[in-house]
Amino acid sequence: MSNTDVVRAHFESYLAQDRAASERLTAPDFRFTSPQDDRIDRAAFYERCFPTTGRLTSQKLLEVVPTGGDDVFVLYEYELKTGERYRNTEVITVRNGQITEVQVFFGGRVSQARPGVLA
């Protein structure tokens, strides 16, 4: 499985809330960083971040780009149940078929009047 395949499978497991599938794709020393989380460990990620899909109506991967090394850049757009749409970017590190690190960079709200354009 390529690094991009691992990343895509991880996003699919998140949306399906298939924790067992997700855990198979994350390394024991996994770390997660976002503007709200500073290098939390695997246990904290599964407690705080993984069960958040209930707030979404949809999520679409717009770009999944390998760097040629261990990292994969992901740009995605999601819609909340409130109707608001946002974009985020992640840098995901994959080693030996497992994700070792995720760094999330929060983007802006996407304009409802012009889909795909940040508000």
Domain map of the chain by residue range? 3-110
pTM over 0.75: yes
CATH of 3-110, one of 3.10.450.50, 2.160.10.10, 1.20.1440.130, 3.30.70.2190: 3.10.450.50
Cα separation of 20 and 59, whole Å? 20
Cα separation of 14 and 49, whole Å? 10
pLDDT in tens, the chain (119 residues): 999 999 999 999 999 999 999 999 999 999 999 999 999 999 999 999 999 999 999 999 999 999 999 999 999 999 999 999 999 999 999 999 999 999 999 998 997 765 555 55
Contact present, 26 and 42 (Cβ < 8 Å): yes
Q: 91: which 2 tokens?
A: 């840098």
